Amino acid sequence: MTKIILDTDPGHDDAIALLLALASPELEVLGVTTVSGNQTLEKTTANALKILEFVERTDVPVHVGAPRPLVREQWAAAYVHGESGLDGPDLPDPKTDPRKGHAIDFIAAQVEEHDGLVLVPVGPLTNIGLLLAKYPGIESRIARIVLMGGSIAEGNVTPAAEFNIWADPEAAHRVFTSGIDVTMVGLDVTHKALLLTDKVDELRAAGRVGSLVAQLYDFYHERHVRMYGWEGSPVHDALAVAHVIRGDFVETEHRHVQVDIGPEPGRGRTYVDLWKRTGNEPNAHVGVGVNGPGFTQFLVQRLASLG
Ligand code: RIB
Ligand code: CA
């Protein structure tokens, strides 16, 4: 069993990623840490609590992290996730509270306690950057980071940059230069693993969790159809979690990645040395291929198992 901490900014795909993790016996979710990103920290934290309450998993601790990126101002992706960050389903306000203690102190303590712990950041990397700054040397005790972020090719929030990296490029730079075993599940693979409406229809009738996911998808998909005109929508964060469960959905190449921490228009871009032109040592396993149908079938089956 792999022990993980999900660092997240729910967010529709974050919520689905959390549900996948909870539905998977291969994983033990030691905790959820929240960060600002898709919405404000207050809203992303409330959304994490809502999801855990919905599936009666309030045993999983939630610890609150950074309210804003290291350098740029906080900027919510409301155009994708709505004002609540989880628009669509009518989820009640959370009745539970986050646990005491900052997210990075919780992560540090869990890294010390659990060898082989995998950090799964699926939002801006602010908490992870702060963790590495506050706990020098912890790099050697973090077994692996599997993050959703970046892209070899085009961006999504700007032509150059994917949202999670763009939101906090300095934190991302810290992560990619840390020497930790980093896997980058970027847009090049998430955009080729679209969840199609007919697969969601299978979920819609598959119980209360399936119905919740279908309602999340309906809102999220409508935004994506407007932006991209695609038949399906990318469940970015769930693909990162799926890669921790089974490494055969996403094909990776070990390459050097540099984060652009300069000004726009390149700010937040991940320069992936795909053809090894720079001579720089590889520092990340970068997603280059994906079995999209295999992943979405797996995702739907696992989500349906939650009842
Ligand atoms: O670019 C996709 C990423 O940005 C996902 O993590 C999504 O939740 C948003 O945070
Ligand atoms: Ca996210």
Give the residue extent of every domain in the chain: 2-304
Please give the torsion angle defined by the CA atoms of residues 47, 40, 8 and 287, in that order, rounded to the nearest 10 degrees.
Answer: 130
Comparing 75-89, 113-127, 138-152, 244-258, the range with the smallest average pLDDT is: 75-89
Measure 8 CA to ligand 1 centroid, in angstroms: 9
Among 292, 20, 294, 287, smallest CA distance to 148 is for: 287
Of ligand 1's listed atoms, the one at least distance from the Cα of 190 is: 2
Residues pairing with 118 in the sheet: 4, 144
Q: What is the pLDDT of residue 113?
A: 98
Nearest ligand for residue 9 CA: 2
Which of ligand 1's atoms lies nearest the C-alpha of 37?
Answer: 10
Q: What token pair was written down for 197? A: 């409406």
pLDDT digits (tens, 9 = 90+) for 268-295: 999 999 999 999 999 999 999 999 999 9
Q: Calculate the CA 159 to chain-centre distance.
A: 20
Given a cut of 90, whether residue 17 has pLDDT beyond it is yes
Q: What is the mean pLDDT of the chain?
A: 97
Residues counted in the chain = 307
Q: What is the dihedral of CA 261, 286, 176, 283, to 10 degrees?
A: -120
Does position 76 have pLDDT exceeding 90, yes or no?
A: no
Distance from the CA of 257 to the center of ligand 2, in angstroms?
20
Inter-residue contact 122 to 8 (CB < 8 Å): yes
Contact in structure between 235 and 14 (CB atoms under 8 Å): no
Asked if the model's pLDDT at residue 199 lies above 90, the reply is yes
| Rounded Cα distance, 20 and 42, in Å | 23
pLDDT reported for residue 211: 97
Strand partners, 29: 4
Tell me which of 189, 237, 270 to substitute to probe ligand 1's pocket, judged by most ligand atoms within 8 Å of the beta carbon.
237
Ligand 1 atom nearest the C-alpha of 12 is: 8
Phi, psi of 66 (to 5 degrees): -80, 135
**In whole angstroms, what is the distance from residue 288 CA to residue 36 CA?**
28
For residue 42, the one-letter residue type is: E
CB of 156 within 6 A of ligand 1: the answer is yes
User: What integer pLDDT is reported at residue 60 of this predicted model?
Assistant: 98
Does the pLDDT at position 184 exceed 90? yes
Please tell me the distance between residue 190's alpha carbon and the centre of ligand 2 in angstroms. Answer: 12
Structure tokens at 251: 């094909």
Q: Residue 77: pLDDT above 90? A: no
> Under a CB-based contact definition with an 8 Å cutoff, are residues 7 and 33 in contact?
yes
10 C-alpha to ligand 2 centroid (Å): 6
Provide the whole-model pTM: 0.98
CA of 278 to the centre of ligand 2 (A): 30
How much of the chain exceeds pLDDT 90, in percent?
A: 96
Mean pLDDT of the region 64-68: 98
Q: Which alpha helices (DSSP H) does 177-291 contain, by range? A: 187-190, 197-204, 208-228, 236-245
Distance, C-alpha 256 to centroid of its chain: 21
Cα–Cα distance, 264 to 221 (Å, whole number): 28
> What average pLDDT does the segment 222-237 reach?
95
**Nearest residue (CA) to ligand 1, atom 1:** 163
pLDDT of residue 209: 97
pLDDT by residue (tens digit) across 42-62? 999 999 999 999 999 999 999
237 lines ligand 1 (CB under 6 A): yes
CA distance 210 to 214: 6
Phi-psi category of 184—alpha, beta or left, where left has phi over 0 and alpha has psi -120 to 50? beta
CA dist., res. 15 & res. 122, Å (int)? 10
Give residue-wise pLDDT tens across range 105-162.
Answer: 999 999 999 999 999 999 999 999 999 999 999 999 999 999 999 999 999 999 999 9
201, HSE (Cβ side, Cα atoms, 13 Å):
4
As annotated, the active-site residues are 236
- State whether the beta carbon of 13 lies less than 6 angstroms from ligand 1: yes
- Residue 248: the pLDDT is 97
236 lines ligand 1 (CB under 6 A): yes
Would you say the CB of residue 122 lies under 6 angstroms from ligand 1?
A: yes
Q: Are 17 and 23 in contact (CB under 8 A)?
A: no
Substitution site in 7, 13, 81 for ligand 1 pocket (most atoms within 8 Å of beta carbon) = 13
Domain 2-304 part of CATH 3.90.245.10: yes
| Nearest 10 degrees: Cα torsion 22, 24, 25, 27 | -70
